[in-house]
């Protein structure tokens, strides 16, 4: 049984994970109202990328618009077997109306 509260939408959107002064490039692979799954290049010193950390995620939409979302890291790990990427599960905190509108247009 799936514990998610809402349906995920498959996407491929460039994103930035912002932890204080550090920025990490990534790609959003799926979205829902409550969460997102992001893949990044391997992080040598993933400062701030740990469960329960509050971060900002900036999604770059195909229109050129950028959406800033406050998120909480739910989990993260290096993707096996070689650790070529990092996988990060995010909870989106208080999603703004423009995010909800964008997501609704995708469904």
Does residue 55 sit within a domain?
yes
- Local structure of 107: helix, strand or coil: coil
Percent above pLDDT 90 for the chain: 64
In this predicted structure, the answer to whether residue 24 has a pLDDT above a threshold of 70 is yes
Does residue 2 sit within a domain?
no
Name the token pair of 59.
């999604």
Predicted structure pTM score: 0.86
Question: Domain span at residue 58?
Answer: 9-102
Does residue 46 sit within a domain?
yes
3-state helix, strand, coil in the chain (%, to 5): 10, 50, 40
Number of domains in the chain: 1
Q: What is the pLDDT of residues 35-73, one digit of tens each?
A: 999 999 876 666 668 899 999 999 999 999 999 999 999
**Residue 19 maps to which CATH number?**
2.40.10.220
Does residue 79 sit within a domain?
yes
Name the token pair of 7.
């349906």
């Amino acid at each position: 049984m799936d514990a998610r509260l809402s349906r995920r939408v498959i996407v491929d959107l460039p994103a930035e994970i912002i932890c204080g002064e550090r920025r990490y490039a990534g790609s959003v692979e799926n979205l829902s109202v409550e969460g997102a799954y992001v893949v990044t290049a391997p992080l040598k010193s993933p400062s701030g990328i740990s469960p329960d950390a509050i971060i900002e995620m900036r999604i770059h939409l195909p229109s050129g618009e950028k959406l800033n979302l406050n998120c909480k890291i739910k989990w993260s790990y290096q993707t096996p077997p070689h650790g070529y990427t990092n996988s990060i599960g995010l909870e989106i905190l208080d999603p703004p109306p423009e995010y909800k509108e964008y997501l609704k247009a995708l469904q």
